[in-house]
Amino acid sequence: MKNFKIILMQVFEFHFNPRAKEEEIYDSFLFEPENILERRLGSLYIVGHLARALPQNFKFLEKLSSQIKKKYYLLSAHSPESALRESLKVANEFLADEVQKGNVSWLGNLNLAVCSLKDCIFNFTLVGNLKVLLLRSGKIIDIGKNLELQEMEPYPLKIFGNIVSGKLSERDKILVLTKDIFDFFSSPVRPSVSYGAEQNLIQEIAKLELIEEKELKTLLKSREKLFAEISGIFLLVDLSEKMAVKEKIAFEKIVPTFSIWQIFSPISKFKISRLFKFPRLPRLEFPKLKSPFEKIRPERIKEIPRIRISSNLKRNLVLVLILILLLFVGSFFAKLERGREMRKTQSVLEEVQSKIFQAESALILKDEKGAKLLFQEAWQEILPQTKAGSPLKKEALELKEEIENQLLVLNRVEKITNPELLFDFKELNFIPQKMINFQGELYFFSPVSVNFYQFNVEEKKGNFIKADQKFNLASSLQEEIILFYSKPDKLLSLKDKKLSGEIGLKAPYPDFYFNSFSTYKSNIYFLDARKGEILKFSFREDGGELLGNLWLSSATKKPIGAESLAIDGSVWVLNRDNQIDRYYAGNWQETLELNIFPLPKNFTKILTFSSLSYLYILEPAQNRVIILNKSGQVIKQFQSESFDNLKDFSVSEDGQTIYLLNGVRVYKVGL
């Protein structure tokens, strides 16, 4: 004898005064699979409430549920979770269409729970103020708590968000209740006869091991008079265990021998002549005819020679047969491998779709940071599937494009088709490499030319200024002076549009190499990327030599190979790995956590100063300039196909205008 557990599912549905108020619509829809394909997805339950409903929305819940159900059971090849996710996308599209038609009265008034149950796997999503509770071993768990939304996003709509999935156990119970019913069922009304203590209805139901319809009706009937005051829906799904006793019968499987002869043996006992008797025909004889070809036949017919196969031919034939066999086996295993690759790729695509859905749900919950991370993870996962040879390359490319469009919006990328051209050096026979903005003037210079060009932004006029030195770098000091650096150890200052004499620089060690410098108050900070040092000089206008000191402490992190630095009180260093380190008082403080898309390839310059709230980053490799706040979050990105040869950039004093040197052209971009 052996016991078998049978898990039975009972569904109880109660509507309390559903038409008590004309403007309140309550409805529930219980869908069960109708064929063998739909059985793969199990049951689908929808409970809805539409508050302050207009007459034209009388069948709104019915139409919405029909859309969800139709899509859900069409996806019989999917898992129940995947099918539910796809059906919710259709629901979002339906709601968006309603808004486009001008039907917006349901916004903020829709409360809906959509649940699927298959083989104890429970999936659900929730919108509005409905409650989904799990009753397990007498305990009450609010499993829909994290899905409750206080408000909905405005158009474009993404009403349905996350899906909660879990495995139910035997004797578990699921309750779906509208708000008024939940409030009523949660309120203790009278002492429980069974337990001798004040109980609410949910607690009493949770105590029941096996729910029978009669017992449940009796429990509810005890408060029948109070139900007249409320409206709503109560749905109970009970997974109960029953024990069935089955007798185990042991038997030996006998496999009889089989012979074709046995089938025909009865017939074989009879002679054919006994089964079929025909009349005996007389024997007919025909005269022998001579062959018409007798005259042309040779007298002797030679024997046909036997074909002899040489050993080489035999060996070659064997090799050909082996080759054919190998090709056949190889083709077979190639098909198997192709099938494995297809299933693997399909699994990746489903995982990516899942993350896209989670990211969209995070946006509904206004978790932009979480959504960006999910979209980026999905993008990283789908990228290998877009390469040549991928079995689902087309589908992967479509998903990749969808993800990138979302990421570009979240990363505030503004693509500029026709940026404003401020100036073109084409006619001046001058190719600048560097630039700096100072007091409404732009100064352009090159390490290979002794001339630099001064351009007035407002008047859009400019002129050349001759110098005796070639300049490599420039930075403004105290909003009064521009300092031009000439390798290896010279500074020239420009004040009131006049160049002064040379100022010598003396570093505390030989063979220094400065690749970036910036100023703060009366101090000058040079970056030596080769040694990973920052040198500090105090500026004087008397023309004397400036003595530099090591600014970084010996124990701190060194910016070896760094690209650029900028100062606003803290020293911001742009590293070669496209990370930004912040230093203060000679010590490393932090590395900004950058979450930027498109992913960085090669940042070349960082710029900020004390009056600016943002960090500005130049990346010629991707034709863009990036604006970050000083926590590393993206404020804006400007990208253009016209930015195809970015050399340098500068920013206006108020930070609202960016000037970009692109080859021999200067572009202007406003925030």
Domain CATH number, residue 211: 3.60.40.10
Alpha helices in 365-480, H assignment, sequence order? 368-382, 393-410
pLDDT at res. 241? 53
Q: Does 406 lie in the same domain as 555? A: no
pLDDT at res. 308? 66
Q: Does 503 lie in the same domain as 580? A: yes
Q: Does 396 lie in the same domain as 373? A: yes
Using 50, 70 and 90 to split pLDDT, how confident is the model at 416?
Answer: very high
pLDDT tens sequence across 177-200: 998 888 888 877 544 444 344 568
Comparing 361-370, 436-445, 486-495, 565-574, which segment has the lowest mean pLDDT? 361-370
Q: Does 232 lie in the same domain as 152? A: yes
Q: Does 468 lie in the same domain as 528? A: yes
Residue 370 scores a pLDDT above 60: yes
How far from 444 is each of 167, 497, 503, 552, CA to CA, in Å? 68, 14, 21, 31
pLDDT tens sequence across 604-634: 999 998 889 999 999 999 999 999 999 999 9
Question: Which of these three, 224, 246, 268, is where a domain ends?
Answer: 246
Q: Does 474 lie in the same domain as 385? A: no
Dihedral angle over CA of 192, 196, 197, 198, nearest 10: 20
In a domain? residue 274: no
Residue 506 scores a pLDDT above 50: yes
d(CA 440, CA 444): 13
Q: Which amino acid is at 307?
A: I
d(CA 35, CA 44): 14
Q: Does 149 lie in the same domain as 75? A: yes
pLDDT at res. 282? 47
The two three-digit tokens of residue 31, written as one number: 């869908």
In a domain? residue 237: yes
Mean pLDDT of all residues in the chain?
Answer: 82
Beta strand extents in 432-563 (DSSP E only): 434-438, 441-445, 451-456, 461-466, 473-477, 481-486, 490-495, 498-506, 516-520, 523-528, 533-538, 546-547, 549-550
What are the strands of the beta sheet with 110-118, ordered from one edge?
25-31, 43-50, 110-118, 121-127, 164-167
Unique residue bearing structure tokens 């950039």: 649
pLDDT at res. 65? 94
Higher pLDDT, 284 or 606: 606
In a domain? residue 261: no
pLDDT at res. 157? 53
d(CA 497, CA 515): 25
pLDDT at res. 224? 72
pLDDT at res. 602? 94
pLDDT at res. 204? 85
pLDDT at res. 360? 78
Cis-peptide into 292, omega within 30 deg: no
pLDDT tens sequence across 46-60: 999 999 888 888 899
Q: State the average pLDDT over residues 496-520.
A: 90
Q: Does 117 lie in the same domain as 43? A: yes
In a domain? residue 262: no
**pTM of structure:** 0.57
Residue 645 scores a pLDDT above 70: yes
User: Containing domain of residue 449, as a range?
Assistant: 420-670
Comparing 70-74, 279-283, 477-481, which segment has the lowest mean pLDDT? 279-283
Q: Residue 237 burial (CB < 10 Å; 0-12/13-18/19+)? A: buried
Number of domains making up the chain:
3
61 touches 53 (CB < 8 A): no
pLDDT tens sequence across 584-593: 999 999 999 8
456 touches 441 (CB < 8 A): yes
**CATH (domain of 377):** 1.20.58
